[in-house]
Amino acid sequence: MKKVKILTLAALAIAVFMTGCRAQKEMEVVDIPEPEKPVEVKEEEPTEAEIARIPVREERVSFDLAEEKERAAHEVNQFFVIVGSFRYEDNAQRFMRQLRDQGFDPFILLSEFGFHRVCVDSHTDETEARVRVHQIRTRYSDYNDAWLLIKR
């Protein structure tokens, strides 16, 4: 009986040893590849047809809710990239915080119709503004309904 126990223990020890050796060999064989270098993706310029299809709305807006630096930076511009529109200022403010977390620098315009337009960019040139709207619509699926506001 003692011989059987000793043989069983010896067999178990050999099995554990063999398993450990195999795991060691596998670890030695595994080659960790170097991380791939990021590939810079060049975005294609939108076609004239795509630019023409950008939704546009023309209205009077004010910078009543904007800080002085925002007013100075954007008041001279006529074309605004809008990603959200809210009846209540609290909702617009909450949305702006979300946009800031995503790297945007948003501000609010108050429309003549009482809506708080959340804007992420402004331009003096309409084509540049349309291209920016297109970029946002294609890069950010959450904002595929972005549109262009033209200040009257």
Note the pLDDT tens digit of each residue in 104-142.
Answer: 999 999 999 999 999 999 999 999 999 999 999 999 999
Q: How many CB atoms lie within 10 A of CB 72?
A: 11
In whole angstroms, what is the distance from residue 138 CA to residue 64 CA? 31
pTM given for the model: 0.71
Query: Helices marked H in 66-125 — which ranges?
Result: 68-74, 89-101
Report residue 35's pLDDT band, with 50, 70 and 90 as the boundaries: low
Q: Identify the burial level of 50 via C-beta atoms within 10 angstroms of its C-beta, where 0-12 means exposed, 13-18 middle and 19 or more buried.
A: middle
Q: What is the pLDDT of residues 49-77, one digit of tens each?
A: 999 999 999 999 998 656 777 788 898 99
* 51-151: CATH superfamily: Sporulation related repeat (3.30.70.1070)
**Residue 36 CA to its chain's centroid (Å):** 22
Say whether pLDDT at 40 is over 70: no
In whole angstroms, what is the distance from residue 97 CA to residue 47 CA? 32
* The total number of residues written for the chain in this structure: 152
CB 106 within 8 A of CB 65: no
